[in-house]
Amino acid sequence: MKVHFSPAAAAVWLVAVVAASAAAPWLALHSPVQPVAQPLTRPLTFPPLGTDNLGRDEWSRMLHGGRVSLAASLSAAAVAALLGTTAALVAQGLGGAADATVTGGANAALAIPGLLTSLAVVAILGPGIESVVLAVGLGLTPGFARLARQALAQVRSEPYIAAAGALGAGGMDTARRHMLPNALPRLLSLATTHYAWAFAGITTLSFLGLSGSASRPEWGTMLNAARPYLRESAWLAFFPGAAIAATVLSVHTLGAWLARRVTPGAS
């Protein structure tokens, strides 16, 4: 992903979003699920961002919704990073058949788009935010495993790997104690990029109505709920839509910036 936007602006937006979501219970003016004013009140009056079709405070819903979207995509990205890194470690540590299995399996799984893999997982587990998290995480795992394996393979040619082998360290041991720490910066930049995909995936599956309750605020769910009111109350779609787009772009920008910093020779 090559998105040339300012990493500083991206960081500012992300810090603001994370801080606002973390402080949601204190920043929110009302309950995110109780009606507080006339339905479809315009923004910049009271409450500050207006109300949705049921008269619920949009500002509070955005804050609480961001909490769900951010935390769920963090969990999904963590699932992909943990499973993917483990598979890559096994592939690089044991080599041979294990490597062929991981590489072949990842390539086969990558033939099917992540969204359909995720939909299949939701079909099996049933709708709900937990299954959506697992579905997005599993959908991203093959791609992460393949890239993590590459990242580990790149430090393989370093002299200290040969030295560890000469000192009698086993393959798995070398992979875990020498390759993993040295590939960590690259794995971190990979995890950042995958967080952006996870965020897009979580909000998309929620948009499709697969994350369970429609009354619990979540940015994707809110974007979908705003569709019938585009003509008169476009702000209902604008807030969650813009927040999703800005967050995904910011994480991608930071991921690209990190990748430039940790890849030797690229500037």
Among 10, 196, 198, 259, binds other proteins (CB under 8 A): 196
The verdict on 230 binding other proteins (CB under 8 A) reads yes
- Span interacting with other proteins, options 3-11, 47-55, 76-84, 85-93, rule CB under 8 A: 3-11
- Span interacting with other proteins, options 64-72, 73-81, 97-105, 114-122, rule CB under 8 A: 114-122
Round to whole Å and give the CA distance between 47 and 87: 49
Of 183, 176, 223, 177, nearest in space to 202 by CA: 223
The verdict on 162 binding other proteins (CB under 8 A) reads no
Among 4, 159, 166, 167, binds other proteins (CB under 8 A): 4
Among 25, 48, 126, 181, binds other proteins (CB under 8 A): 126
Round to whole Å and give the CA distance between 255 and 5: 11
- Span interacting with other proteins, options 32-40, 62-70, 85-93, 245-253, rule CB under 8 A: 245-253
Question: Smallest distance, Å, CB 5 to other proteins?
Answer: 7
Round to whole Å and give the CA distance between 101 and 99: 5
Among 54, 234, 260, 261, binds other proteins (CB under 8 A): 234
The verdict on 104 binding other proteins (CB under 8 A) reads no
Question: Smallest distance, Å, CB 50 to other proteins?
Answer: 16
Is residue 240 within 8 A of residue 65, CB to CB? The reply is yes
Question: Smallest distance, Å, CB 167 to other proteins?
Answer: 41
Among 14, 36, 188, 249, binds other proteins (CB under 8 A): 249
The verdict on 15 binding other proteins (CB under 8 A) reads no
Round to whole Å and give the CA distance between 243 and 221: 13
The verdict on 266 binding other proteins (CB under 8 A) reads no
The verdict on 209 binding other proteins (CB under 8 A) reads yes
Among 12, 54, 124, 214, binds other proteins (CB under 8 A): 124
Of 6, 29, 10, 30, nearest in space to 18 by CA: 10
Q: Which residues make up the interface to other proteins (CB under 8 A)?
A: 1-5, 108, 111-116, 119-120, 122-127, 196, 200, 203-204, 207-210, 220, 223-224, 226-227, 230-231, 234, 237-238, 241, 244-245, 248-249, 252
